[in-house]
Structure 1
Amino acid sequence: MNKWVLSVLSLTLAGGLLAGCGKTETASSGAAASAPAASTGSGSTSLAGKKIALVTQLNIGTFSAQYIDGVKEQTEKLGGKLTVFNSENDLAKMSSNLDAAINQKFDGILIDHGTAEALESGVKKAVDKKIPVIAFDATLQVPGVTNLEQGDQKMAQQTLEQLGKDAGGKGNIVKIWVAGFAPMERRQIAYKSFMDTNKDLKEIAAFGAATNNTALDTQAQMEAILKKYPNKGDITAVWASWDEFAKGAARAIQQAGRTEIKVYGIDMSDEDLQMIQDPKSPWVASAAVDPKDIGRIQVRYLYQKLHGDQTQDTVVLDPVYVSRDALPKDKQVTTDQLAQFVKGWGGSEQGYTDWLKDLEKQAKK
């Protein structure tokens, strides 16, 4: 996909606040309101203390944790209160969580991944009740709902094009990918196009599954692939369509001493950066949008709807390509520092209106 859309299980990293009932509350200043407010044209007192629900399909890995941090940060800056409903990769539970958010009369709902089949009925119910909905990587086609996506085809193209250049236009590729997620399906389109036009690059193996231990499971599967192709030159590179896949593959390759194999991933977190900066790691590059920015932007568009503003059906976030060559060799950097070395990273003003900035100032008082 947010992290979108997979030790590895990072449910507790999502703000460290997961409750046993499958949701997390993060308090902020301001009293909670029980119903959506009509637009006043100023976006000030009518938007104070809003209750915001984030319904996630799964919270796995540091990307998801940083995405949720971004949602929490922006919500609190606007004086709201966030509750996270974690569905643990269970679409039926996600549908139930969405119904719970509607029945509990949240003022606005954010959706992280999921499928139209699981969510469309509940989303239509929310819209009918005048509860605004902003979705991230969920491919919902419900009038009035704004969908955010990361520019997934561009991310895939960026990594694949560099893979092809580094490989000299020929070699054997292992693809790690999983169906059933909107961002993955978009990334697959770019992959197929790339392979169709680069006939000297051969896919010799493909696997991938989103589990509660995705990185560890991927590592075990990659170890089996390495045993099947034990000789130098058998595998040129690994294209991983998700950072959890890249982590597992890189660890397997590094532990096997197969340093000639390079890994190209998608998505970025602090943990990912640490691996990419390690000169011993086969993971050399990734394309991504700052996960915190994704969360921040999603909240901004939700507040625009709460304000009564019109928002577009689809918002595409522009990714950047991050390679080891662009990073310092004498110190470890974090995603908060990455903009110093990679142009276009982080600090996006997308969806950031003047009245939202004013609302932030008022919420501080």
Structure 2
Amino acid sequence: MKRKLFSVALSLVLAGGVLAGCGSKENSSGASPAASASAGAANDLAGKKIALVMQFNTGTFSSQYVEGVKEQVEKLGGKVTVFVADTDLAKMSSNLDAAVNQKFDGILIDHGTAEALEAGVKKALDKKIPVVSFDSILSVPGVTSLEQGDQKMAEATLEQLAKDAGGKGNIVKIWVAGFAPMERRQLAYQAFQKKYPDIKEVAAFGTAQDPALDSQTQMEAILKKYPNKGDITAVWTAWDEFAKGASRAIQQAGRTEIKVYGIDLSDEDLQMLQDPKSPWVASSAVDPKDIGRVQVRYLYQKLHGDQTPDKVVLDPVYVSRDQLPKDKQVNTAQLSEYVKGWGGSQQGYTDWLKAAEKK
């Protein structure tokens, strides 16, 4: 009898030890059960297929935006496929349908219009595919829409133009309708015109097709129409591709008394901005790589089951030649050393996202 009781007691002790051992192994990281569950959910997000549906992929700003998207997705163990419509909205709509039909895990949208995208977006949501858009006029429930502070960007460059011009002069506007960010920037321009009636618009143009080349060609024609120094005070451009073309035409014509003010900024733009012979003197922008990174973070929040806002506004930064070093060239990755608020945005980050990146 004693031997039997001893055997039972020994069995209980051994069983308790095994259970305790298993428990200590599960909690060896020191993580709480909630943290472990969140980490497990984050691990489930590895290997996701993400579609990036773009209206256009023009210039270095767009290419750096795509780099930001890919960098953030790859950090989270996923893979990006890019669909580019070359400004053809019908093709963009078709590309969106293709992304849905190919059963991508999540969809990112860059530009586009509600008319072209709404039906495809609703189809994606019906199939439980989350969608996050950038600079698209979309108001579909369940979609998080990112935009830059477009009016703020336009106001910053226009106010500096007015200050440099002494509140009077003749200007050229380069802008194109039909794009959400352009339309928002145009609102700031209209307010600027009312505020500064002595600043006259003598010419306006712009196209999304070959924008840098077209802007250069059209600016060359305008310079011939206004050949004298003082005929044109400044050029305001609503997109960096426009600023590139206008700046090249002005510089080649030797008319660098004309100043150019832009919106958006890439590495190529920054080189032009730093050139003392370039008429391009200032721009207002958000780091294009940051835009891509932030957009991906909100998509992964949706994949994780988190609640996300309907609208996210990215804060722009004003960058002028005066802020930049004169003894060396810098790129957008180094710009934060000279311009406060540039790059390194933490928008859209969560603790579990940061933990998922480390894994």
TM over 0.5: yes
- Whether contact under 8 Å (1:263, 1:282) holds in the other structure is yes
More helix, by proportion? 2
Q: Quote the residue 1:303 is aligned against.
A: 300
1:1-365 equivalent positions in 2, closer than 5 A:
42-211=40-209, 213-362=210-359
- Whether contact under 8 Å (1:175, 1:203) holds in the other structure is yes
Give me the whole-angstrom Cα distance separating, in 2, the residues matched to 1:176 and 1:137: 19
- Whether contact under 8 Å (1:43, 1:356) holds in the other structure is no
Give me the whole-angstrom Cα distance separating, in 2, the residues matched to 1:200 and 1:49: 58
Q: Quote the residue 2:16 is aligned against.
A: none
Whichever residue aligns with residue 344 of structure 1, its letter is G
**Misfit runs of 4+, over 4 Å:** 39-42
Give me the whole-angstrom Cα distance separating, in 1, the residues matched to 2:287 and 2:216: 25
TM-score normalised according to structure 1 size? 0.87
Whichever residue aligns with residue 91 of structure 1, its letter is L
Number of residue pairs the alignment of both structures matches: 323
Whichever residue aligns with residue 351 of structure 1, its letter is G
Give me the whole-angstrom Cα distance separating, in 2, the residues matched to 1:44 and 1:353: 11
Give me the whole-angstrom Cα distance separating, in 1, the residues matched to 2:256 and 2:204: 20
Larger Rg: 2
**Cα offset for 1:89?**
1.0
* Root-mean-square deviation (Å): 1.0
**Cα offset for 1:309?**
0.6
- Whether contact under 8 Å (1:43, 1:359) holds in the other structure is no
Change beyond 3 A, Cα 1:154–1:293: same
Give me the whole-angstrom Cα distance separating, in 2, the residues matched to 1:141 and 1:113: 13
Q: Quote the residue 2:14 is aligned against.
A: none
- What is the CA deviation profile of residues 315-347 of structure 1, one whole-angstrom value per residue up to 9, with x for unaligned ones? 000000000000000000000000000000000
Whichever residue aligns with residue 229 of structure 2, its letter is K
Change beyond 3 A, Cα 1:40–1:131: farther
**Cα offset for 1:270?**
0.3
- Whether contact under 8 Å (1:42, 1:355) holds in the other structure is no
Q: Quote the residue 2:32 is aligned against.
A: none
**Cα offset for 1:43?**
3.4
**Cα offset for 1:40?**
6.2
Q: Which fold has the larger relative contact order, with Cα–Cα distance below 8 Å and residues 6 or more apart in sequence?
A: 1
**Cα offset for 1:288?**
0.1
Secondary structure in structure 2 of the residue aligned to 1:142: coil
**Cα offset for 1:45?**
2.1
- Whether contact under 8 Å (2:39, 2:355) holds in the other structure is no
Which runs of no fewer than 5 residues in structure 1 stay unpaired? 1-38
**Cα offset for 1:42?**
4.9
Whichever residue aligns with residue 334 of structure 2, its letter is Q
Q: Quote the residue 1:19 is aligned against.
A: none
Give me the whole-angstrom Cα distance separating, in 2, the residues matched to 1:274 and 1:42: 45
Secondary structure in structure 2 of the residue aligned to 1:311: coil
Whichever residue aligns with residue 308 of structure 1, its letter is G
- Whether contact under 8 Å (1:41, 1:307) holds in the other structure is no
Whichever residue aligns with residue 228 of structure 1, its letter is K
Secondary structure in structure 2 of the residue aligned to 1:47: coil
Give me the whole-angstrom Cα distance separating, in 2, the residues matched to 1:96 and 1:112: 14
Which runs of no fewer than 5 residues in structure 2 stay unpaired? 1-36
Whichever residue aligns with residue 148 of structure 1, its letter is L
Give me the whole-angstrom Cα distance separating, in 1, the residues matched to 2:335 and 2:236: 23
Give me the whole-angstrom Cα distance separating, in 1, the residues matched to 2:73 and 2:250: 40
**Cα offset for 1:139?**
1.2
**Cα offset for 1:88?**
1.1
**Cα offset for 1:361?**
1.0
